[in-house]
Amino acid sequence: MELPLYLSFNEFENRYYDHLETWFEEYRNTSETDYLKILAELYSPYLYYNFANDRLQADATIQIKECSFPYHDKIGLSFCTSCENGKSPKSTKSMSHVFEWKTISMMEYAQHVLDKINKHLQTNTGKVGQNILDYINDYNIITSRDGAGYCVNYNQHQTTLPFLKAYLPVYGQTVNIATYRDFIFSVVQIAEFIDEKLKDVHAFENTIYTKLKSDAKFKVQMNQQFLTICN
């Protein structure tokens, strides 16, 4: 059973027991704890533990490669850098992308994916009755490159699908900023709701708060060890 990701706390809360009932119908030998663990995994990627405030905060971002073409000595109309007068020179430069890592919001990432899909739909007008969500995970579209810009990693893209399915419009050219803002405000409330339910069943070690706090402490310790080694 694929649990949907909700962008609004009210919607998540209102549908909680409906999905729980469906969960039990499909997985008879499980408990509400198992259901809550899946929910915790679903929403954790959009949160982080804040040491200063000792609480969870929203972090709906993703790291992505921002690609560009390096400077080349010779770039012809055919983009052939390995041929000169029909001969291959001894030393040439390739046209492969160079990149740097950039952190962008999930809203920006969603818009980037939406632009790719809309471009495909505009150049393939013969396909009737299909919408944005039909192409949300199409490998050729998602990983396509058109000069400089973001280079999507397809494996990483899989982790964004629950958010994209909830956020991208069925039809349209732009994403909804107000809906995204609602998600940023709601995701912490959703996490707290899940954690309270986990505490009710005495599964404290599975709460989002506990896991993200532990991950944050581990990262700090690793950074401190790295600095110690360097010094």
- What does the DSSP assignment read for 15-63? HHHHHHHHHHHH-TT--HHHHHHHHHHHHGGGEEEETTTTEEEE--EEE
Instruction: Determine the pLDDT at residue 146.
Output: 76
Give mean pLDDT, residues 149-166: 95
Residue 73 pLDDT class (50, 70, 90 cuts) = very low
For the chain, the average pLDDT equals: 85
CA distance 96 to 229: 35
Q: Is residue 221 very low, low, confident or very high in pLDDT (cuts 50, 70, 90)?
A: low
- To the nearest 10°, the Cα dihedral for 175, 109, 215, 12? 20
Locate 160 and state its tokens: 């964004």
Q: Residue 163's closest CA among 83, 87, 59, 66?
A: 59
pLDDT, one tens digit per residue, over 42-70 is 999 999 999 989 999 999 999 999 887 65
- Please state, in angstroms and rounded to a whole number, the distance separating the CA atoms of residues 18 and 3: 11
Lowest mean pLDDT among 54-63, 81-90, 108-117: 81-90
**Residue 225's pLDDT is what?**
56
Between 171 and 99, name the one with better pLDDT.
171
Q: What's the first-to-final CA gap in the chain, in angstroms? A: 50
Question: What average pLDDT does the segment 173-182 reach?
Answer: 96
The predicted model scores a pTM of 0.82
Res 118 pLDDT > 80? yes
* Lowest-confidence pick of 66-70, 97-101, 206-210: 66-70
Q: pLDDT at residue 11 above 60?
A: yes
Task: Give 136 or 221, the one with higher predicted confidence.
Answer: 136
Cα–Cα distance, 39 to 191 (Å, whole number): 9
| Model pLDDT, residue 70 | 58
